[in-house]
Structures are given as structure tokens and as C-alpha cells.
């Protein structure tokens, strides 16, 4: 069943697809996927347009809900029908969260279910969807961040389904363990924090004051989220985006108010922090984030938490005991999050089981070395989320891949750069530059 409607400059069609939970058991349990087809209004009657499928970053986020033709979408609509796919468990696809997962049973059953929510399953979903919407013709994939990881899996598992592959901020290591990923990540995060404080030196004292308050007081945000100093530090995830440093600065401008009981964090500050920290809208990000790096028959075992201990400069209490700046952290998931966030608390044991699980490989180096699909990748210099050294090593391992290495953008370049990033990737894939 499909529904078609209009927004400014575009015609939209909602699609729903039934796919196997486990593609190794196609006759078994099924789940539903949602996708939104977008076509330029002036091209809506054309049935000869090629297809481009967009794979969102994450894991755990549904596809963008655009209004009209912003960012990269306007450029894509010049020549494609675009399919914005809500990957399994996200958006309007069959949900996986604290409310629905108990339908599976206990934590062991929930973890077994979520083991089917990695890139290999997403790629096999895409192949079923592709055959239904294109009539079997290959399509172009645009993968942002984790969507780029999925695209490399696509090139490994089903390159015959691709006319071209475009990757932005999402070239994964083909063989690094999660420990290696985070050992490379913490120094990058530290550089981003240093750059933020160089831009906004007044934030050094402001951040220290908030952290000192949190070490001395138990603060529960609206909705029941526990704001610990570690949770406050995790707001550094903002620093990976083009506007993130400015957003963090604005957040820190005036966090306290005077009350009869002394200084307290203001309601406005607490509400904004709650929105930034809550996983209610994307719990899969917390549950399967480290699993995207699990591929060498070893558990990830809370890699970000373990590796953080190797970088004592991120210890807030030690920083506050001296006169150094408080270091924020970045894109990392920690076990304490499942105690702080009401959306995650019921899933703590499930998360522990996933952290202890071993995983099969997501990439096929031999097939990538023999690749024949045109591939182009934007690599953002010193990307906080994806290690540039890992990304470039992978780029050299995929036959024919062309890179565009730039420091003009941060990790969100495909959004922040308007049509320019997609335009460049298409030109590279077509050997026009």
C-alpha cells in the first residue's frame, strides 16, 4: 500500500515493505520497513529516472524528514528518484526500543533479536527493496557516516545491485577492533576540545564550574535523566559537526541561576541538555553502536569505556583538582548511560549481552579489491567521528575508489555543504574531475 502527496517542489510517496528478520531464514519471522520516495514535482510523471537510495548515519536514526528540497536532496532530484529508507528498527519501520523489545522476551531474547540489526542485514533489506522499486535495475547509494559503513558492506555482499556508491564521512576500517577505533578517537576528541576552547576561552571556566557542581550535587533532569559529570562531558559529541562548537558555547553561556538554596543549573539549561542527551528517539544508537565495529570474532566489551581509562586526562575529578580544562568526550557509548537515561535503563542487561557477543565480518577485502562499481568518498580531514587514517587505508583497499579529502567541512558536510558535496562525489564517480 502506498500513499502519495505533495510538499513544496516535490512529490512524496510512502512505501512499506515486509522483509525477513533473519535473511538466512526467509520463511521465518518478518519485520516492516518504511521508506519515502521523493521526486521533483516537474519530473513526477517520468518513469525513466534512475534511483538513488539514501542510507542515514547512526546506527539507529531514521532517514531525514526533509521539507521541500534542502541540502543535498535538491541536487539529487535533478536526475534521480530518491528513496529515503528508515533502516530496520528506526523511524517508521518496526521499532526496537524499551517499549517494544519486551515483546521478544527477556534480555537474552532481545539481544538475539538485535543481532540482526547490523549493516549486513540492512544491505540485504536494501536488495529486497531495490528489486521491488526499480524492477531489478541497479541503483546508486549515498551513505552518510554509518550509512557509508553500510555502503562498504553493500560493495562486499551485493555489488551487482549498485550502479554507483557515494560515501560521505563513512569509510570504516576493514579490520580494526573497536579498541583500535577508540584509541584513535580519544586524541582526535581532545584536539576538537582544544580547538573549541581556543575559539571560546571563556568556556574553560564555565565548563569547569558545571562539572564541579555535578560532582557535588545529584541532578535529575526533567523526565528522570540523571545528569552526571560523565553525561555532561558527553555533550562533546556536538564538536563533530560544523556548527557544534558554536552550539556548545551557546549552551554554556549562562547555565546557572540564583535560588534561595544557592546557585543551581537553570531549568532552561537542564531542558536543553536533556534533549541533547536523551536516547528516547534513537535507542539503537546506544544498543548496537559498538557492534558496528565488531567483526573479528572478539566481543567489543564496552570498548569505549575500557579505552577511556588509557587517557586519564578525560577524568573530570582529576582535571578539577588541578587547573587544566575539563575535556569533553565524543561519539562513544558507555555502560553508565544505561543507568542515567530512562529510555535505556530497562535495556541495561540486553546491552551487556550485546557487549559480550562475538560478531562475524561485515566486509570482504578480496571482493573490495576486485570492485568494479564506481565509488567516490568524501573524507573529512580530522573527522571526529571517523578516523582519517583508517578511512584512507580502506579507500586504498577498494579498487577504483576516488577520494575527496577536505577540511572545509566537519562530519556533517553532506548536510552543511548544500549541493556541493554530492555534486563533487557524482563528478568523481563519473570520472568528470
Catalytic residues: 145, 383, 411
By CB atoms closer than 10 A (0-12, 13-18, 19+), residue 254 is exposed
Q: At what angle do helices 244-252 and 202-216 cross, to 10 degrees?
A: 60
CB count within 10 Å of CB 4 equals 11
Cα dihedral sign for 335, 56, 61, 232? positive
Amino acid at each position: 500500500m502506498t500513499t502519495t502527496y505533495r510538499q513544496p517542489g516535490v512529490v512524496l510517496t510512502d512505501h512499506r515493505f515486509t522483509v525477513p528478520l533473519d535473511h538466512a531464514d526467509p520463511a521465518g519471522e518478518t519485520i516492516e520497513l518504511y521508506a519515502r520516495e521523493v521526486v521533483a514535482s516537474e519530473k513526477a510523471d517520468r518513469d525513466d529516472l534512475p534511483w538513488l537510495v539514501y542510507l542515514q548515519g547512526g546506527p539507529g536514526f531514521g532517514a531525514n524528514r526533509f521539507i521541500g528540497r534542502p541540502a543535498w536532496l535538491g541536487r539529487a532530484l535533478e536526475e534521480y528518484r530518491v528513496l529515503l529508507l528508515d533502516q530496520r528498527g528506526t523511524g517508521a519501520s518496526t521499532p526496537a526500543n524499551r517499549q517494544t523489545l519486551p515483546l521478544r522476551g527477556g534480555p537474552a531474547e532481545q539481544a538475539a533479536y538485535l543481532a540482526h540489526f547490523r549493516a549486513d542485514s540492512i544491505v540485504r533489506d536494501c536488495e529486497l527493496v531495490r528489486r521491488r522499486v526499480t524492477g531489478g535495475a541497479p541503483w546508486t547509494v549515498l551513505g552518510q557516516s554509518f550509512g557509508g559503513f553500510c555502503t562498504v558492506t553493500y560493495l562486499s555482499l551485493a555489488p551487482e545491485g549498485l550502479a554507483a556508491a557515494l560515501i560521505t564521512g563513512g569509510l570504516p576500517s576493514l579490520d580494526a577492533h573497536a579498541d583500535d577505533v577508540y584509541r584513535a578517537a580519544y586524541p582526535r576528541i581532545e584536539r576538537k576540545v582544544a580547538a573549541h576552547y581556543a575559539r571560546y576561552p571563556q568556556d574553560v571556566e564555565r565548563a569547569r564550574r558545571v562539572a564541579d557542581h555535578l560532582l557535588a550535587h545529584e541532578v535529575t533532569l526533567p523526565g528522570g535523566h540523571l545528569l552526571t559529570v560523565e553525561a555532561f562531558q558527553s555533550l562533546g559529541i556536538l564538536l563533530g559537526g560544523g556548527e557544534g562548537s558554536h552550539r556548545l558555547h551557546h549552551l554554556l553561556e549562562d547555565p546557572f541561576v540564583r535560588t534561595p538554596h544557592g546557585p543551581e543549573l537553570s531549568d532552561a539549561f537542564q531542558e536543553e541538555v536533556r534533549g541533547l542527551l536523551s536516547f528516547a528517539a534513537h535507542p539503537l544508537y546506544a544498543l548496537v553502536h559498538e557492534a558496528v565495529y565488531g567483526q573479528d570474532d572478539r566481543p567489543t566489551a564496552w570498548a569505549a569505556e575500557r579505552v577511556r581509562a588509557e587517557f586519564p586526562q578525560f577524568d573530570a575529578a582529576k582535571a578539577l583538582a588541578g587547573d587544566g580544562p575539563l575535556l569533553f568526550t565524543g561519539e562513544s557509548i558507555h555502560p553508565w548511560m544505561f543507568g542515567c537515561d530512562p529510555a535505556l535503563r530497562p535495556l541495561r542487561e540486553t546491552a551487556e549481552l550485546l557487549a559480550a557477543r562475538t560478531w562475524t565480518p561485515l566486509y570482504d577485502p578480496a571482493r573490495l579489491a576486485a570492485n568494479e562499481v564506481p565509488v567516490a568518498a568524501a573524507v573529512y580531514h580530522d573527522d571526529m567521528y571517523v578516523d582519517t587514517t583508517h578511512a584512507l587505508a580502506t579507500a586504498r583497499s577498494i579498487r577504483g575508489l576516488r577520494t575527496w579529502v577536505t577540511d572545509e567541512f566537519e562530519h556533517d558536510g553532506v548536510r552543511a555543504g548544500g549541493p556541493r558535496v554530492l555534486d563533487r562525489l557524482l563528478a568523481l564517480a563519473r570520472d568528470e574531475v
